[in-house]
Structure formats: C-alpha cells, structure tokens
Chain A
C-alpha cells in the first residue's frame, strides 16, 4: 500500500518523462536512465488504430529498437487515442513531436534507422500539416485539427501509457483524491462541483453537483450508497467514452472514489458495453493496479476512507444506457426502465441512493478539484460550462475525436477542425444526439454548440456523436435509419414506444420505397407528438426527434418522395432503377467489370444488358461508363 509521500516520490521520479511529451522543444538535462529515455515513440492503441494493426507496429518497434541496441535510450509507449483516427495508425516521436500518419509495419525499420538512430525525420510519412516550408516541425497544438481544441477530459489520451499507473500518477494523477480526502469535507467537494457548473455529459445535461447533493442527503436504511459510471455508449457512431476508458482509465477510478467520498458511499460499478474489449481489459487492469497501490480498498492513503469498485459488462441493449434500465441491468435483470421519480439519487442500485454519471462527466472532476470551480466557470457559455468531446464521423475529412469548448460553432468544428467535406461535395446536415437527436442544416452552421442551442434547433447534445452528411445522403433515409434503430432497441415495455415507433418506421419505409401516401407527412407528425408525450422513458420520448427535425428542415425532400416518387439525393435504392441506354452503349465492358455482383453482361462491342433482378443498385457502374449510357 502506498502513502501520499510514496505517490509524490513516483511523481518526482518520472515527471520529466511526461514533460518531454507535453512541452514542445523540451530539453532534458542529464543522461538516459531507468525512468528517462532519450526518445519516446508513442503508438496509438485506440480501437481505430488497433484495427489498423498498431499492436503489430508496437512489437515491430520493440524488435527493431532492440536490434539496434537502443532499448536503453528509446521507450516505445502504447497510448490512447490522439483523435485523428482518419490518419491512423498514428505514431508520434518525442521530444521532436514528429507526427507520423498511416504508418504500416513495414515503415517501422525506416523510422528506427533513419529517425531514431540517424536523427533524420522520415518526411514521406509525416502528417503534411505539421511540416512547414522551411522544414521545421509545427507543434501539434498549432495544427488546424488541434488549434481550436481544448483537451480536458481527454488530457491524458495520447499522452500517457494507459496501462501504467505510474504515468497517470506522474501527470497529477490521484492528487485530486488526496486533496479531497485530506483537506476537504464531503460537503466541500459537492460545493466545488456545484459551483463549477459542470453538467452531465451523458445527454440530458443535468447539473452534476446537484445530483451529488441529492444522493448525499438521501437516507439509506443500512447506510449503503453507491456510485456508478455509465459507459454503455449506445449512440451508434459515437466513441468518446470508449476512448477515455482506453486512453485514461484511472481518471474514472479517481473520480468515482471522489464521488463516493462526497456522497458517503463505499462501492462503485462501471457499466461497460461488452462490445468494447480493449476498454474492458484496460479498465480491469487499472482497477487491479489501483488496488495493489491501495488506491482502492480499505483505508485509502491511510485516511480511513474505504472504496472499491467492479465492472459490469452490458450485452448489447441500447435501452440500458437509460439510468433506471442500467441499474436494473447492474442488479442482474432484464434492462427495462421504470418511471421516475424516485430518481436514482434517492432509490438506485439495490434500492440505495446512487450517483450515476457518464464517463466524460467523471473525466472532468479531478481537473475541477485541482484547478477550482472558477477556472471551469471560465470555459464555455453562460449555461454550459467546460468542454465537450465529439466523435466526428461520416462525410468529413478529419474523422476522429475532438474536444472543444462549449460555444464553438459547428462551422469551426466541421471546416477548421474537421477539414471540411471530402471530394468537394456540399455539406447538407450534421446529426447530433444520435437516435434521440436531430439534423442541423447548413443555415445553422454558425450556431454556437451548447446544451440549450442544440435543443432549440430541434436536436440535442446527446452523448457527443456528430455525423456529417453531404448532398448524397437522403434525409428521409437517415430518419428511417434512426427509427429502425429505435424499433429494434425499444424494450417493449410501453406501447407508445413499442407500437408507435414501429408505425412511424412503416410509414418511412413506404415513403422511401416510392409508395408514400398523400398525408403521410402529417401522420408522421401526429404520431411523433403522441409518442413524445406518452412514452415511459426518454428512449421513446425522444425517438421521434430524428423524424421531426428532418421534416422541419427538409420538408421538400419528404414531399419529393411522397408526391413525385423521387429521391433528390439519389440514395433511396428502391426508387432507383438502373438501365442501359442501347444507343449510347459502345460495348466497352467497363461497367461489366465495375459491377460487384455480375448483374451486367455483354460481349465487347455489343450492347450490354443489365439484369434488374441481380442488381443491388449500388451505382458502381454509373461512374465507370465513359459514355454516360447508364441511367438511373
């Protein structure tokens, strides 16, 4: 078991290691040592980069470094997400801060020999934006993608080795817990969180300090209270929480311990999607390591405070992200929601007062304790303080994870940080809030993003998925996509959600198939209103949002489907009929080759034939034909 002095000794010992990565141009005095290395090779091992084989890249680096006898000078670090997933796998080399993108295993020997041994940067692999004309390397925080970001919740992601508790400790880790346990009363902690203005990042934006206060004041018959972390992250297209768990698992442990201290609890649960194996493993390792250091367990840091925690895996049910359903699931039941009140802060896990917060909410807590409520108050907008992490995806160049101060405009996120829309296409809408949210059209690109503004636009903050769509995406089809999701994920307990969303889906289905009826749009609106007001939980209550917001901004598109039986974006496959104009076809066989399913046949110089039965309407043949002989 470690004492407060032991933790400080760890910090002193490896502080320079973290400094070298944090400060551009940092120069270390003195030789390499057990804790200090001349160069650090940071390899992203978030899910995205692991899918791009970063584990093999790490072993290759270790192998090559050993081959050159550099193992005492060079440290290869497996780290969390750098955010720029589109360019993965990513490798950053410190102290120079050289950012290599799309690295393959075969590139590793060259980086080791040229860069690490001979000191020549491998220019062909460098992320172009970081290389200035005069060949010097731009610090990452001056590059377009990072310039406007502010990494608080993600502060350790990409900076430390998530599997090394010492590195977390070295970057001010567990200092906030120390401070709370030794200098502050539980009510002081709650006051700080309240004063900071922090609101829940799981979607609803409820003030966190207030929630803690309710739980602290609630009575429990046997004195038991719980803290829980919602890492269910159900929004399809969002991976913020997963990145925090993968890149900085200890921040969740520290934060939950602080929350438990504040409300008077001793046990915590983290509810994680089973689909996140890397996150699950890293979090488990972090829990084991923290326990070994006595940062979990009895008498933490000798202060007399007891706290321990466990992971509870989910099993693929979106509704379990809803707090009452999540609690049922943690208890070992079907994850069906129940009406509130009573709220979990009064009656939660096993009927005891429970604080449930989202991963990103927790990730902000230690910083708030360390820097003070006023510091946090200074970031963001009047009613939404701090930053928000977004998983930016879809039709955008810099797909990845970004953290921005509240109040930043969508335009800045999409064009400056996100690098705009690929292939010169036109921006059409941004979807936020996942299945509970809506689409924001181009005319609102300059709206500042915060809880209130997004709701006013008919969408919502949600957990932080931000999907960009271009002119080729059909808004009716997107609404149908989300409705299909809710129909599938409705737990079936209440009829408005179980039956109502299904009826809405059926209407959308026939509209996209060109069988829409005259008053379908009005029917959708009427159904939406009644589901919003009568469903049991927020899953059902918010399910109509994607439909309502697309009708609001893209009614003409709905009308084109219903009245003209046309999909203006050309996305609704059922309405598309592909065929070959015989007069134009020169028999070049290019379309025959382009067709992925062999639906087009024909000899050279003979008119080709398209078999509508086999055709999957993918459209691959259209650009392949140099004579524009294929019609849709």
Chain B
C-alpha cells in the first residue's frame, strides 16, 4: 500500500488502480456501484485505508462521511491491514455443534492473539467467520485460500506449522 499515506497523498499506482476499479463497475455518477467498488478495492489492497476512501469519495462524488459509514457498517470491510496469513475459523452452526469454538481457542492460544487481532509480526490475523458453506467438512478453517476441513484439535499444530 501507499507509503505516502501519512501525508495524505495516494501513491500514483494506487490511484490508477482505484480509477480502474471504479470504471469497471461503471461507478462514475452511479452511487449504487459503491459496494462492488469497495469490495474490489478491499480484495486488492487487503483493507480500505482512509486515503483510498477519500479518493473514492471524490471520484464517485459521494460524501466521505457516507463512505466511512458504509465501510464501518459491513463486517466484510476492514479499516486495518490484515496479517500475511488470515486464519478464518468457521463459527457457523454446523461447525459450532462440532466444537469449532475449541479449535478457535487452540488457535488463539497458539498464535497468542484473539479473534479479530493481528499478531505483532504481521504474520497472522485470526477471524471468526460465519458459515463458509463447507458444512460437510465441519469443523472448517481457512488460511488464505486453503481450506482445512474435518479438523481435530490435534491437527491444529500440524496445519499452523506450514505457515511459520
């Protein structure tokens, strides 16, 4: 992400990326494209930095306060950068009745952080998510793109080992 963030200027290439995303969703003059735009920006940058929000606000002609309101309303949007590895522990019903909370407790203990936090070295972020639709594999966790299903407490060490 942009180095110049503290000075309030978006790096040139980030600005271009944002413009491209807005264009892709036909977002100039169309407010209803905002969700699609924010989703794409979040996917590309990993989070929604203040400067990016401001840039989008100006380009799409939506008050910044409203964009901020949207970003903070939806749990899928994040104001903070996430770790290199995002560990998502499914806490959907099917996983919960199969003791997902114990898996979460163990992962929290292993990484020394709680759900919603990022480790100091920037390596791990733990999130407790809702059903990811792989209930057949409950309990399920994902680490970035990789899915680990039918997980036993004993397996947690082995899985985390791969990401050290």
Contacts and interface: CB of A to CB of B under 8 A. Distances in A.
B49 to A, nearest CB: 16
A48 B135 contact: yes
Interface in A569-596: 596
A32 interface: no
Given A51-B147, A274-B39, A393 B75 contact: no
Interface residues of B, number: 47
A205 interface: no
A242 B134 CA distance: 11
Given A48-B136, A391-B135, A315 B39 contact: yes
A393 B94 contact: yes
A275 B35 contact: no
B44 interface: no
Interface size class for chain A? 35 or more
Interface in A47-65: 47-48, 50-52
Interface of A is mostly: loop
Interface in B32-88: 32-36, 38-39, 62, 66, 69-70, 73-77
A612 to B, nearest CB: 15
Given A596-B106, A596-B154, A333 B137 contact: no
B153 interface: yes
Contacts of A532: none
B122 interface: no
Nearest to B148: A51
Contacts, number: 146
Contacts of A234: 130
Interface in A267-318: 274-276, 311-318
Contacts of B129: 275
A276 B39 CA distance: 13
Contacts of B62: 332
B4 interface: no
Given A399-B138, A597-B109, A481 B96 contact: yes
Contact of B33 (A332, A336, A465): A332
A21 interface: no
27 contacts: A51-B147, A51-B149, A235-B131, A237-B92, A238-B131, A239-B133, A274-B76, A275-B130, A313-B36, A317-B73, A317-B76, A329-B35, A330-B35, A332-B33, A334-B69, A335-B74, A394-B138, A399-B94, A399-B136, A431-B93, A467-B97, A478-B97, A596-B106, A616-B109, A618-B105, A618-B106, A618-B153
Interface of B: 31-36, 38-39, 62, 66, 69-70, 73-77, 91-99, 102, 105-106, 109, 129-138, 140, 147, 149, 153-154, 156-157
Interface of A: 47-48, 50-52, 85-86, 88, 234-239, 242, 274-276, 311-318, 329-336, 391, 393-395, 399-400, 431, 434, 465, 467, 469, 473, 478, 481, 491, 596-597, 616, 618, 620
